[in-house]
Amino acid sequence: MTSDIIKVAQESPSITKSSANDDMADMDISLEDYPSLQGISGFLRLIERTPWFRYLGEPLDEEVVSKARLYTDLLGFPDVWPAEVEDWAEAASVLEANDFNNPAWEAEEQLFAGVTATALEFVEEDLLSMVMSYVQQKAGEIIGDAAWDAARRWGIEDEALINAAAGSAIQCCYQVAMALAAGEDEAHPLARKFQIYETGQWPIAISGNSLNIF
């Protein structure tokens, strides 16, 4: 099944400067000159329509489990399975106990370094930096609001925890945008992680043999 990441990109296969500016504001870029950036305009629209954090704490259904398994397999951890996180307190405990220098984190960092190097073969560094900053800004606006809305539904006021949820999702968007700039598609592990967020849940971290999902 084709991912929404690719569906949205395919909806606008010939994005020009004028149509891209609808998504990228004042950035004066002719995407015809940068084919690897064309998918990012569509990806921004996908970020807008993703149900960020809408289903936190829900049981992990077949779709979530399937997407989580695809992500962990492609990341290089086939023995890792999704584990339910029931509430914000448990999510906080997972974050506190997590070692962000663990093998899974390092694998993601290596993947991101790889797509960054490839993207720079297609796009000048200054332009790529400008595009990525814009992606980060737009994702931050949308996801930040969604995280606070989710917290209010649960009666949560822990600003650090809410910002951690938003920050992890924003980082994922940044990574996927870089992968798109490098010419990657929905099969890339970084894109597979985004697809878990598309279910409205939060893939917090891999710890031991578990991918903790709230």
HSE value, Cβ hemisphere, 13 Å, CA-based, for 4: 17
C-alpha dist (Å) from residue 65 to 26, 39, 101, 134, 185 = 40, 27, 25, 32, 21
pTM over 0.95: no
User: What is the reported pLDDT for 35?
Assistant: 85
Element (H, E) at 45: helix 38-49
User: What is the reported pLDDT for 182?
Assistant: 97
DSSP state of 214: -
197: burial class by Cβ within 10 Å (0-12, 13-18, 19+)?
buried
Domain boundaries, the chain: 66-81+100-214
User: What does the alpha-carbon distance between residue 184 and residue 175 come to, in Å, rounded to a whole number?
Assistant: 11
pLDDT digits (tens, 9 = 90+) for 95-139: 999 877 799 999 999 999 999 999 999 999 999 999 999 999 999
User: What does the alpha-carbon distance between residue 128 and residue 113 come to, in Å, rounded to a whole number?
Assistant: 14
pLDDT digits (tens, 9 = 90+) for 62-76: 999 999 999 999 999
Task: Look at residues 91, 67, 95 and name the one whose alpha carbon lies nearest to residue 81.
Answer: 67
User: What is the reported pLDDT for 151?
Assistant: 98
